[in-house]
């Protein structure tokens, strides 16, 4: 019924130092338009998995295909199709102003100047940063920095946006702003993959949920179906669900 998967993960293993840490035997497929929530406790392998999605790490064994092409053969294609936003916003912002930082990725792709300008404007607008375009990133708030990090990836026009723990260190308004932005990106046709250990914030947006535990994929289903099976894997069940109610969306 469905078309070709965007990303296909086949028996993916990554062993950092030969001790069996990292991730093991992970297989799943990502289709266009999905919003996948990846949950799991600290050290369960979420970041390791994400770094494979845009070819920053190469599998020890197994393979990962983006548009049917292996990342081993064509890492650049994976990097263009999949944009990765890291956990720590501070270390991924490289420009001296907000607009410069967003232009960094498109400049790397060698786009023409007016094309870059266009992309920067679109990304600024999509993440609600237009007012801050000439600001120095070090003077931004935590939430603004996080949105800038995402804007830098959005400007590269990837099909899939992968967000690693986007809500860590954010206050409540910052979290709400971010959720609204992510929802908008999903609505405008981006496929979203997002990791968090506090699933309550985005579970109503997600179309699918994957649980990792000690480097293995232990569940892959609709979020509602997994709600009652979270706690053995160190993921907190949303309060509402525990009380037997439906989880309400966080977006304001």
Partner 1 sequence: MTLFTYVPSTSLAHGLDVRCKLCCLSLMSIATLQGGPVPLSLITAMVAGLLIATAIRPLTLFRELKLFFLLVAMVFISRSVTTGGEPIINLWGISATKQGIVAGALLSWKFVLVMLMGIVFTKTTKPSHVKGAVQWFLRPIPFVPETRVAVMISLFLRFMPLILTQASEVSQAQQARCFHLEKNPVKRLLRPTVPLLKKTFQSADQLALAMEARSYSDKRTDPVFIRSGQEPLILALCFLVLGLSFIV
Ligand X SMILES: Nc1ncnc2c1ncn2[C@@H]1O[C@H](COP(=O)(O)OP(=O)(O)OP(=O)(O)O)[C@@H](O)[C@H]1O
Q: By the criterion CB under 6 A, which residues form the site for ligand X?
A: 16-17, 21-22, 40, 42-48
Residue 67 vs 216, nearer CB to Mg ion = 216
- Which stretch of DSSP H or E encloses residue 103? helix 98-108
Instruction: Provide φ and ψ at 174, rounded to 5°.
Output: -60, -40
CB 149 → ligand X: shortest distance, Å?
A: 16
What is the C-alpha separation between 27 and 164, in angstroms, rounded?
A: 19
* Position among 47, 60, 168, 207 found at the interface with Mg ion (CB under 5 A): 47
What is the C-alpha separation between 188 and 154, in angstroms, rounded?
A: 12
Q: From residue 38 to residue 57, what is the string marking binding to partner 1 with x (rule CB under 8 A)?
A: -------------x--x-x-
CB 83 → partner 1: shortest distance, Å?
A: 8
What is the C-alpha separation between 33 and 57, in angstroms, rounded?
A: 25
Residue 191 vs 195, nearer CB to Mg ion = 195
What distances in angstroms separate CA 192 from CA 37, 110, 130, 162, 240, one per listed residue? Answer: 8, 25, 23, 6, 24
Coil, helix or strand for 92?
Answer: helix
CB 135 → partner 1: shortest distance, Å?
A: 11
Q: Please, what is the angle between helix 172-187 and helix 113-126, to 10°? A: 120
Is 195 an interacting residue with respect to partner 1 (CB under 8 A)?
no
- Residue number with the smallest Cβ distance to Mg ion: 47
| Selected range binding Mg ion among 33-41, 43-51, 109-117, 125-133, rule: CB under 5 A | 43-51
Binding site for partner 1 (CB under 8 A): 51, 54, 56, 76, 79-80, 83-84, 86, 88, 90-97, 100, 104-113, 116, 134, 136-138, 152-153, 156
């Amino acid at each position: 019924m469905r078309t070709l998967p965007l990303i296909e993960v086949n028996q993916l293993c990554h062993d950092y130092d030969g001790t069996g840490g990292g991730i093991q035997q992970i297989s799943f497929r990502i289709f266009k338009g999905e919003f996948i929530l990846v949950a799991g406790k600290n050290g369960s392998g979420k970041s390791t998995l994400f770094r494979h999605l845009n070819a920053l790490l190469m599998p020890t064994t197994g393979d990962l295909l983006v548009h049917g092409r292996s990342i081993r053969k064509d890492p650049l294609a994976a990097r263009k199709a999949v944009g990765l936003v890291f956990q720590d916003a501070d270390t991924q912002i490289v420009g001296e102003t907000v607009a410069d930082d967003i232009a960094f990725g498109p400049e790397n792709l060698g786009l023409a100047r007016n094309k870059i300008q266009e992309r920067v404007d679109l990304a600024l607008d999509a993440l609600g940063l237009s007012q801050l375009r000439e600001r120095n990133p070090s003077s931004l708030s935590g939430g603004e920095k996080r949105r800038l990090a995402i804007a830098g990836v959005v400007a590269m026009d990837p099909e899939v946006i992968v967000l690693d723990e986007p809500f860590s260190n954010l206050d409540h308004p910052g979290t709400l702003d971010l959720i609204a932005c992510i929802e908008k990106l999903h609505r405008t046709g981006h496929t979203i993959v997002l990791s968090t250990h506090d699933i309550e914030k985005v579970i109503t947006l997600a179309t699918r949920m994957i649980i990792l535990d000690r480097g293995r994929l232990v569940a892959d289903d609709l979020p509602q179906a997994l709600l009652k099976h979270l706690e053995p894997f160190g993921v907190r069940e949303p309060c509402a669900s525990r009380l037997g109610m439906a989880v309400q969306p966080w977006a304001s």
